Chain A
């Protein structure tokens, strides 16, 4: 491939293997100066791997990389940074106990004449940089005190401080409200117009269409093609990513809500640092409806679910599952009729080092065998049945759970939990790290559960999922439910405003009738 002066990055025939697994198949990609270039693909398609190679995190097995006219081969991120590449990782690489300024300068610290870290200069420069790019921040603030949206600014400023001319953003909008996302897009466009290049990694198609100049599609480690962002639709992109026609929205009828299945009253709870995270939070979920809890990550969603699942002790308040008062005892809560599908599949949900049949048997071991004896055969038989019932691809009872893709691991959790015949189902980030094909079937399963009269409570950071799945949307902001909306009467914009705390009022379903003046 020939390099023109308009190109800032040219990747030619890059190939990467991890053991026997080919993560990248001879991918080629050109990023022009001054463009926002989206790289899209499903989880595991190789987007992040390709970018990590560009950022020098690991070397490719074959292929060339050319940055601003020079052939490069990086031994580690420091050399990539030197060449003008900056990366904002999906999982922030920040030091929580240090200040904003300190985080920005790590690795290229300004020094005084005596060779000490010049914290004064660091603060002044961090502040000036923020002002210049419209990303204002208090340089002395401690990073762990900042909300995630601002932590992301620190990451971006960190790259800019190193004079990044090519900025890689890995799933940057996952932690933002729609309004914050729009602000980020304005910043991204401004960078591009100043002659920098932005590589925007995402799987959210709506966002790609809104901000990108060109779009490269990856599937199973291959870079399929690069398109101009003209006359393309989300549906076309989705089909290209998955390799077949997909339904972006699950089909479902009207909800037929009945009795209350879950009731949370005046719940208060503390977070990891011992500070109050949930403040007087009340809501309920009825049989036959899907209620989604929307909110920016870190506003108390995790704690609400942990309290309901019995994994966290509430400071005060009451939780009732099927009318039964429950406390901090996971077993009792499950016996009261709870099925819980946690977001942390590898930690809370499954034991990845155990076989699939073992994972499926956990929680209902009593059903297999009699007395003190356990019958692995019975457990394996049930497992085989569930594998076909839930269409878990590539599964076999004796395979280890870690051999499955994220989507199929999710189906294992789902199968195990739904088999319990519980009347309340809590699904936390059901489509996180799950391929589009599996999202479709997981959503269908949850809707089927609703139609079978079960109460479904979904916690999701993905507003597309919230809207496609739910009948009712609760918005959580700083540990309080600030909105209770009927999905069919509201829109993305409104929910986004509540998520960002811009608007707050109580809806018609709130347990309490008070309303907040805005």
Chain B
């Protein structure tokens, strides 16, 4: 194993971690947010366009976040104000984002499918003094761009907010026992809207990283279902922040392996590209077995009455 592999894994996991932290907040507030991909693709597009036109990465990130938050607001509006089922509304919002970005790609940049340009600025690699001298770990951790480090920093921040602050406690109460929250005088709707908008902000960062950090281009549906993989990570880790990030990192490692192994082993790359998906399936099968075991322990028939 070499440190290059881990360097790639850390890079590849970045958008997953942003998206997973965003999804985690809504998950904790009792909402299954399946529109993470939609938020990300819109953000990715907004980031590329802004960077291309203004040359400013800061503005690009801001614009990505604003667009993703606006889309999150739309989902909150559908779900909380107009009482649309969150699953249906989430799919609608995601399709809207896919369609809108493809349309705008043609309309604004006159491109089909992919847009790339040398005018798009790149994030500089950050060299942390002294880090590169640590054998093995150093090269894996050093020399990433700002958003990579930021993504890993969000994990302790999200954990701290959820478990130490008043707002975090209220989010958890709303998610676990909405009636109890309402009876205690907590405005449950407000908490849900807030987590949804924050989820948009995190996906904004994820999208901006995808199109400006990971690569320097925009392609239709370039999120590649990373939002769904992030959700899988949340479920696998039972909604705990650190384990969620760890699982996201594992998916990143699987992807890095699928890129590296063909070079090393000579096995057909098409076959090895299956690795991340196989890992996802194994993870979900594991979750399924875990649930089945729990049910068997109870010994009761499950009646799905809602």
Chain A contacts to B: CB under 8 angstroms: 57, 76-79, 81, 87, 89, 91-98, 102-103, 106-109, 111, 115-117, 158, 269-274, 306, 311-315, 328, 330, 346-348
Contacts and interface: CB of A to CB of B under 8 A. Distances in A.
Contact of A87 (B164, B179, B183): B183
B165 interface: yes
Contacts of A94: 177, 180
Nearest 5 pairs of A and B residues by beta carbon = A78-B185, A107-B184, A274-B297, A313-B299, A93-B183
Contacts of A106: 169-170, 173, 180-181, 184, 186
18 contacts: A77-B182, A77-B185, A91-B179, A96-B177, A106-B186, A107-B170, A107-B181, A107-B185, A107-B186, A108-B185, A115-B166, A116-B165, A116-B166, A117-B164, A117-B165, A271-B298, A315-B299, A330-B301
A78 B173 CA distance: 16
A270 B298 contact: yes
B166 A117 contact: yes
Contacts of A274: 294, 297-298
Contacts of A108: 184-185
Nearest to A95: B177
Contacts of A92: 180
Contacts, number: 95
B303 A347 contact: yes
B56 interface: no
Interface of B: 164-166, 168-170, 172-173, 176-177, 179-187, 294, 297-301, 303, 305
Given A78-B185, A270-B298, A315-B299, A109 B180 contact: no
Contacts of B173: 95, 98, 106
A93 B166 contact: no
Contacts of B185: 76-79, 81, 107-108
A458 to B, nearest CB: 22
Nearest to A309: B301
Given A106-B170, A109-B166, A270 B299 contact: yes
B184 to A, nearest CB: 3
A274 B295 CA distance: 8
Nearest to A307: B299
Contacts of B300: 272, 306, 311-313
Contacts of B183: 77, 87, 89, 93
B127 to A, nearest CB: 34
A480 to B, nearest CB: 18
Nearest to A347: B305
Contacts of A57: 182
Contacts of A76: 185, 187
B164 A158 contact: no
Nearest to A158: B184
A330 B187 CA distance: 43
B168 to A, nearest CB: 8
Contacts of B172: 95, 98
A347 to B, nearest CB: 4
Contacts of B176: 95-98
Given A306-B300, A314-B299, A115 B165 contact: yes
Contacts of A116: 164-166
A413 to B, nearest CB: 16
A311 B294 CA distance: 16
Nearest to B182: A77
Tell me which of B170, B173, B298, B305 has the highest count of chain A C-beta atoms within 10 A of its own C-beta. Answer: B298
Contact of A272 (B181, B182, B298): B298
Contacts of A347: 303, 305
A330 B301 CA distance: 10
Contacts of A313: 299-300
A193 B301 CA distance: 49
A162 to B, nearest CB: 8
B182 to A, nearest CB: 7
B165 A270 contact: no
Contacts of A272: 298, 300
A77 B181 CA distance: 10
A107 B169 CA distance: 9
A330 B180 CA distance: 35
Contact of A348 (B164, B177, B303): B303
A115 B168 CA distance: 12
A290 to B, nearest CB: 27
Contacts of A78: 185-187
Nearest to A346: B305
| Max count, chain B CB within 10 A of own CB: residue among A87, A102, A109, A269 | A109
A117 B171 CA distance: 13
Contacts of B186: 78, 106-107
A238 B183 CA distance: 31
A311 B301 contact: yes
A269 B299 contact: yes
